[in-house]
Chain A
Amino acid sequence: MTDTVKNTLLFVVVFTLIIISGFFQGWNNAIFTLNMGIISAIMALGVNLQWGYAGLFNVGIMGFVALGGLAAVLVGMPATPGAFSAGGVGVVLALLLGVGTVVAAAFTYKRMPKGRNRNLVVTVILVFGFFAFRALLDPNVALIEAVNPAATGYLGGLNPYSVETYRENRWIMLIAWPVGGMFAAGAAWLIGKAALGLRSDYLAIATLGIAEIIIAIMKNEDWLSRGVKNVNALPRPVPFEVDLQSSAAFVERAAALGFDPVEGSTIFVKLLYALLFSAVLGILFWLSQRALNSPWGRMLRAIRDNEVAAEAMGKDVTARHLQVFILGSAICGIAGAMMTTLDGQLTPGTYQPLRFTFLIWVMVIVGGSGSNLGSILGGFLIWFLWVQVEPIGLFIMDIITSGMAEDSWLRAHLIDSAAQMRLMTMGVIMILVLRFSPRGLIPEK
């Protein structure tokens, strides 16, 4: 059996699994699983770029995904009337002041001769800058958050349409996706500048931290994206179900296919998303494949396999690492913006490292690190399992407990904790793959 046949078979198996779930749990669920599978596959591509190509250990994926979601809000939502004039200028000035302080401190650190004087000056700049920053930021934030706090209380986004009509501006969400990538790239540049070049587990700890900080900022800075109050009703690039249901032509076509208008419209919308997402996945996969097989890709793998030798050959290891770290994070940011678009809302409270960082790692490891096709397969397969483990667990628990008394505490406990089986299953899968098939389902060539 050649590799092509084997790989095709693997993909056929995964898609068959999704189709079977469609027969049992309804097509809406199956296509939703497919859509999230595509998004997961894109995240896995990004992580594979970092880990598989360059051996960079990034456990801050959640942060980059969340930044992508933030971009969806900042691009897709309309500006809140009156918010910018209330405190927007002040906030922008405060942020500039903050950046200026850091730049000034860094500049002083570079230019002044080493010694106690330098430390003193840098400390004074930082402390003074911090208090000035807070003094300028706080009152303006209060002003912004006072603008209709129940519904908005944040600056809003860049959607040029008005508050009433912004959802008609559908295509703006497609702009939000690359912007999400750019946000993530910016954060990756900052963290990469600081932490790349250190030992690999230090990068891991640093990225773990930056992800938590990004989530903390998104939860607490209400003027930016309403924090835990969430931003709802984002515009979307596909038509609304309600509009489809009231269109006679659509109802007729759905009836001809044997669907009632409500089910037909929801499935149709999800299929449109699936098409859009597949296009993005296709483009990113093509680009990644090209990159992998280019001289640049070969150089990265050379660096990964033997850093010292590559450096001796005149390769700039730190610069290449920074480059690939930024690119991989940007891909995660794009996926994050797509996910927020699909959800139609940004909910910072739901970002959890186990789901958004470590699950992606399971996908990459199971699929095969270093192989783009493998990452995509891992994305679909692990996402499918992640969704299905809960019903399967419940089913198994029902069988195990069927002999017990109705009111037995053990039975109630076992059935309750079936929902917790997910994490254990993912861990076991990961450990087994690492042990018995460390190169993954579709190994790197």
Chain B
Amino acid sequence: MDFLNAIVALANYVLIPGIAYGSQLAIGALGVTLVYGILRFSNFAHGDTMAFGTMIVILVTWWMQGAGISLGPVPTALLALPFGIVGCIVLVLVTDRTVYKFYREQKAKPVILVIVSMGVMFVMNGITRFIIGPDDQSFADGPRFVISARDFKEMTGLEEGLGIRTTQVITVLTAIVVVALLFWFLNKTREGKSMRAYSDNEDLALLSGINPERVVMMTWMIVATLATIAGTLYGLDKTFKPFTYFQLLLPIFASAVVGGIGNPLGAIAGGFVIAFSEVTITYAWKKILVYVMPESLEPSGLVQLMSTDYKFAVSFVILLIVLLFKPTGLFKGQTI
């Protein structure tokens, strides 16, 4: 029995990766939820919006690395992030003007907008692949670890190491800052309040003199910002590949729906619920159990509930459970 080692192993393999992944999903799900709350459709192009923003960040990062600009120990990508955000905002606003605006004026049914967003998804996916290609790209630089597993072992004398990667720390810190800023914006500023009013009751908001086009524009700008940040953090933590970003759509949707689609607080909670379920269900628990179980009871297998390839199945099953038993999500939907 060795609880200390068990706790360290748990933190190293489950808690820290789960928190980082959860933050990435949460920021992604915030974007989906905002589009749903204000524009009232499920945006299938969100994964590809993330990919596009990240692509610009990568291109600028490469340029900066070539020009010798760096942030010291912090990845250069953070310096390139504002450029990516601006690029993504431009793309999303152009898309809104040329594509979505028409349907908004027609007051088209939400499902039509979903189908339109499928077309947009194709185009954005095409643009990204056209510019950067369909392959894996890595753009993280700087030291990989804040504490490496070996240093930790030397420091504490424990058997288990606790490695904390730079990207994980940055992910969590950025997520906290982004979420705080977003909530401050939505609750305290005039623009944010008009967005919430518009989401709550469109007609009433129009009557009180809120300019709908301005609200929509603000929404798209925030969504593009969130998408680029989520995409860059995910790319730094793992790797950038356009197809993976398209696939992230499922866990992101699951997070938004589990939390209650349209509700920002729910999106964050949903992101962590999905991330932790994925990590705990696909993790091989043997490593931790050997420390807490008496030797005679030690498991012989890996004690992995499901192979990692089934991680989509996990988000899906949780999604299904929530849809069946609590269709409004953990938090009540439709309130920004």
A202-245 residues at the B interface, CB under 8 angstroms: 202, 204-206, 208-210, 212-213, 216, 219-220
* B216-244 near A? 1/0 per residue, CB < 8 Å: 00000000000000000000000000010
B122 adjacent to A354 (CB under 8 Å): yes
User: What is the interface of chain A mostly: helix, strand, loop, or mixed?
Assistant: helix
* B307-332 near A? 1/0 per residue, CB < 8 Å: 10110110110011001100100000
Q: A55-B111, A201-B42 are in contact. Are A427 and B120 (CB under 8 A)?
A: yes
B134 adjacent to A420 (CB under 8 Å): yes
Tell me the smallest distance from the CB of A306 to a CB of chain B, in Å. 12
> Of B122, B257, B323, which contacts A423 at CB under 8 A?
B122
Complex alpha-carbon distance, A434 and B122, angstroms: 14
A65-113 residues at the B interface, CB under 8 angstroms: none
Complex alpha-carbon distance, A134 and B133, angstroms: 41
Q: Would you call A57 an interface residue if the criterion is a C-beta within 8 Å of the partner chain's C-beta atoms?
A: yes
Chain A residue with minimal CB distance to B110? A201
A-B pairs under 8 A by CB, number = 131
B147 CB contacts on chain A under 8 angstroms = none
Q: Would you call B89 an interface residue if the criterion is a C-beta within 8 Å of the partner chain's C-beta atoms?
A: no
Tell me the smallest distance from the CB of B333 to a CB of chain A, in Å. 10
B122 CB contacts on chain A under 8 angstroms = 354, 358, 362, 423-424, 426-427, 430
The number of chain B residues with a CB under 8 A from chain A is: 48
> Of B111, B118, B250, B312, which contacts A200 at CB under 8 A?
B111
Tell me the smallest distance from the CB of B212 to a CB of chain A, in Å. 21
Q: A201-B41, A213-B312 are in contact. Are A434 and B115 (CB under 8 A)?
A: yes
> Of A195, A204, A208, A420, which contacts B126 at CB under 8 A?
A420
Tell me the smallest distance from the CB of A255 to a CB of chain B, in Å. 45
Q: A365-B115, A423-B126, A430-B122 are in contact. Are A208 and B313 (CB under 8 A)?
A: no
Q: Would you call A198 an interface residue if the criterion is a C-beta within 8 Å of the partner chain's C-beta atoms?
A: yes
Tell me the smallest distance from the CB of A53 to a CB of chain B, in Å. 15
Tell me the smallest distance from the CB of A198 to a CB of chain B, in Å. 6
Q: Would you call B206 an interface residue if the criterion is a C-beta within 8 Å of the partner chain's C-beta atoms?
A: no
B42 adjacent to A194 (CB under 8 Å): no
A411 CB contacts on chain B under 8 angstroms = none
A216 adjacent to B121 (CB under 8 Å): no
Complex alpha-carbon distance, A34 and B116, angstroms: 28
Q: Would you call B52 an interface residue if the criterion is a C-beta within 8 Å of the partner chain's C-beta atoms?
A: no
Complex alpha-carbon distance, A410 and B114, angstroms: 36
B250 adjacent to A354 (CB under 8 Å): no
Chain B residue with minimal CB distance to A435? B102
A-B contact pairs, 10 of them (CB 8 A): A55-B111, A206-B319, A209-B320, A213-B313, A216-B310, A216-B313, A354-B246, A426-B122, A427-B123, A427-B126
Question: 10 other contacts beyond A202-B327, A205-B319, A210-B316, with CB at 8 A cut-off?
Answer: A138-B301, A202-B257, A206-B316, A206-B320, A354-B125, A365-B115, A420-B126, A420-B133, A424-B123, A435-B99
Residues of B within 8 A of A (CB): 41-42, 44, 99, 102, 110-112, 114-116, 118-127, 129-131, 133-134, 243, 246-247, 249-250, 253-254, 257, 301, 305, 307, 309-310, 312-313, 315-316, 319-320, 323-324, 327
